[in-house]
Structure 1
């Protein structure tokens, strides 16, 4: 993870949102209750962007998961994804759809967090998934990319390692970043 990104207010807020959403996912708890508990404990500042992400992911969960399901390869489900990847994908999809954060930053932040907290294949998977959604939303010329992250596909070892592949692209589509 880039040191500058680790120290940004929004980067810290994303990490804190990931902590809350992951804990809620693993416990089968309501993320809003987890957020309220964190605020009530007052053990560390809960930034407004953390609140926005947790509430947004919770409020738009069904739509985010529908977008995620559409981007996954056939035979994979949102529930089959590793929990950290599922939470990061939801955070990224929420930011792409409901904030003014540039797509390249959304993708890079998710990739950095995946590199730190998930499997070795997760950064490439999230890069491909979020970049595809961003490209579909913004047009092919606005595709964000992380240069060193490999694209996930149906034949990639990511599927063997438990990280779902991104749905195959059509013949006319540009290759995944």
Structure 2
């Protein structure tokens, strides 16, 4: 097995795959993915037939759930002649995870987020064109990731500056 293959089968890859599974299941069951992940964490503690939920899986599920509208809009803006609803559910989950990593995970290089997503599409998608499609969409998102992160940082700084203003009594905080 080459070094690249070993890396792909590492803890983060397994956590991403589990996150895809949970996001896919939550969408199919129309349930909250954060609650579903919490249920699986609890179940794994009492049932040794249920695999533990890695911390990074929980991070991904929470991140995607908390930023779902933003991520879906960013993905949809780069689909060209497709809609998010038209994509296979597994591809939606893969794109959402990779987009969250591109825009919110400071410890994941963009090339890793894209490579992992393409690998997951190869493993999990039933459509032979999915890996290339996922790669193409994410390539476009990588191109705007720095701009989106900078805009988000500016918004955060502005929000902090507003909160540093006078309190209701007129005295400085």
Distance 1:5 1:31 in 2: 27
* Counterpart pick for 1:20 among 6, 19, 22: 22
Note the C-alpha offset of 1:137.
2.3
Note the C-alpha offset of 1:136.
2.2
**Which residue of the partner structure matches residue 84 of structure 2?**
78
Q: TM-score, normalised by structure 2?
A: 0.75
CA RMSD of aligned residues (A): 1.4
**Which residue of the partner structure matches residue 163 of structure 1?**
none
Unaligned runs of 5+ in 2: 45-49, 148-173
Matches within 5 A, 1:107-146: 107-118=114-125, 119-138=127-146
1:21-72 Cα offsets, whole Å, 9 max, x none, are 0111112111112101110111222111101100000000000001011001
* Counterpart pick for 1:68 among 56, 75, 84: 75
* Greater length-normalized contact order (CA 8 Å, ≥ 6 residues apart): 1
> Aligned pair count?
137
Q: TM-score, normalised by structure 1?
A: 0.73
Q: Is the 8 A contact 2:8 2:116 kept in 1?
A: no
* Counterpart pick for 1:88 among 90, 94, 102: 94
Deviating above 2 A after TM superposition, structure 1's stretches of 4 or more consecutive aligned residues are 136-139
Give the structure with the higher percent helix: 2
**Rg larger in structure:** 2
